[in-house]
Amino acid sequence: MVTAYHLIPFVVTAYPDYNGGAQVMEFAAQMIQPDNSSREVYKGRDLDCIIAGLLPGRPYLFQVRAFNRAGVSA
């Protein structure tokens, strides 16, 4: 869970601990809403992304997945 403290973009940085022997080709970040719905906030090759529009003091939950030729991370 991530809490934003400033009205500035939030940076998510991710890289898997283990890639299954295949180089990571792409990442996707989803933001989970309080009603358990989700929306994709990033998909691409960069290891970090900026998520704008977060409000101070509110909790945020993100799921980051990695994609490679072996499949998608859990």
Domains of the chain with CATH codes: 2-72 (2.60.40.10)
Grade residue 3 by pLDDT with cuts at 50, 70 and 90: very low
Q: Which residue has the higher pLDDT, 4 or 12?
A: 12
Grade residue 5 by pLDDT with cuts at 50, 70 and 90: very low
pLDDT at position 2 over 60: no
The conformation of residue 35, written as its DSSP 8-state character, comes to: T
* Six-digit token string for 67: 């994609």
Please state, for a pLDDT cut of 90, what percent of the chain lies above it: 7
Segment 28-64, tens digit of pLDDT: 889 888 888 999 988 998 877 888 778 778 888 888 8
- In the prediction, which pLDDT does 22 show? 83
In angstroms, the CA 21 to CA 12 distance is 24
